[in-house]
Amino acid sequence: MRDFYKGKHILITGGAGYIGQLLIEQLIEFNPAVIRILDVHENGLFNLRQKYQETAEDKVRFLLGDIRNINRLRYALNGVDIVFHTAAYKHVVECEYNPIDAVETNINGTSNVIQAALESNVERVIFTSSDKAANPSNSMGATKLLAEKLMIAANGYRGTHGTIFACCRFGNVVRSSGSVVPLFEDQIKQGKSITLTDPNMTRFLISNSKAIELVLRSAMLAHGGEVFIFKMPSINIGDLANVMMEKYGTVPKEIIGKKAGEKMYEELMTEEEKSRTFENEEMYVISPTIADSKHVSYEGFTKVAEINNSRDADRMSKDEILRLIE
């Protein structure tokens, strides 16, 4: 991995976000030529500049801009080798109540990234998606699904450019902004009630380090059009609340019911995708719908046997939950 990223010119859209910041921290260790951080969040860029101005000033560039603006993307991607496209609206409820804006950013913005990448002859583009893109029940998942479809189809538009487009799907990243672990932690520390949508709700959880490893390995493994998914443990929200109260202190529980667009459980892939999925001990790779010879098999991977949703998958134990949140 270090050899792969050494000397590369890298752009991260949404680089001031949670995943973007984790990517920056890891990529700097691999000695790339430069990491360009594109984000619409001015304060986020300012804070990152303060963080890196002494330790990595020659490696990091800070670009204020919106992926909805294709001209800004054209300038940002000029001379870039690898794009990690993490910019998106990611909160289910906010997208459910603001679907037009979710479409503008998650779908139209992704289309802009693809077009600018082709024009700039970028080597690889990796899109960070969500397990909510599998059988979506909400606007956020639907926009993520269509963004995946755009990325996969882009491999057929590239012509002589040679750009490789691929996707990776996360579950819930443990301490990402607005996720359940930091929410519960804040509620407990402030002495408030823990707000549980439904104690029987289940989710796939992935640690920070595994999430970043998935993104970085996806760029290395991609031939074009794949969706990469790390194998993730399932967690029961009621169990998570109990473990966190044992760690931080006991507070009342308040059952608030499912939020708009939420499902009781999540899925990693559809039945149709399963038919063209391969696996090894750590991850799944969904091959493209239209596959040529180089997609028929993957070294070290075998045809998938069974895929469980978060309701039916093996649940994390108390000790496993504790280790994950720590």
Residues classed as catalytic = 132
Residue spans of alpha helices (H) in 163-286: 180-189, 208-221, 237-248, 271-274
Q: 268 near 134, Cβ under 8 Å?
A: yes
**Nearest-CA neighbor of 26 among 1, 55, 54?**
1
Half-sphere exposure of residue 281, counting CA atoms within 13 Å on the CB side?
0
Tabulate helix, strand, coil % of the chain (nearest 5): 40, 20, 40
3-state secondary structure of 318: helix
Interatomic CA distance for residues 140 and 132, integer angstroms: 8
CA 140 to mean position of chain CA atoms = 13
Identify the helix (H) or strand (E) that includes residue 284. Answer: strand 283-286
**Helices then strands, each counted (H, E), the chain:** 13, 15
**Nearest-CA neighbor of 86 among 215, 180, 208, 222?**
215
Q: 234 near 202, Cβ under 8 Å?
A: yes
3-state secondary structure of 152: helix
Residues in the chain, how many?
326
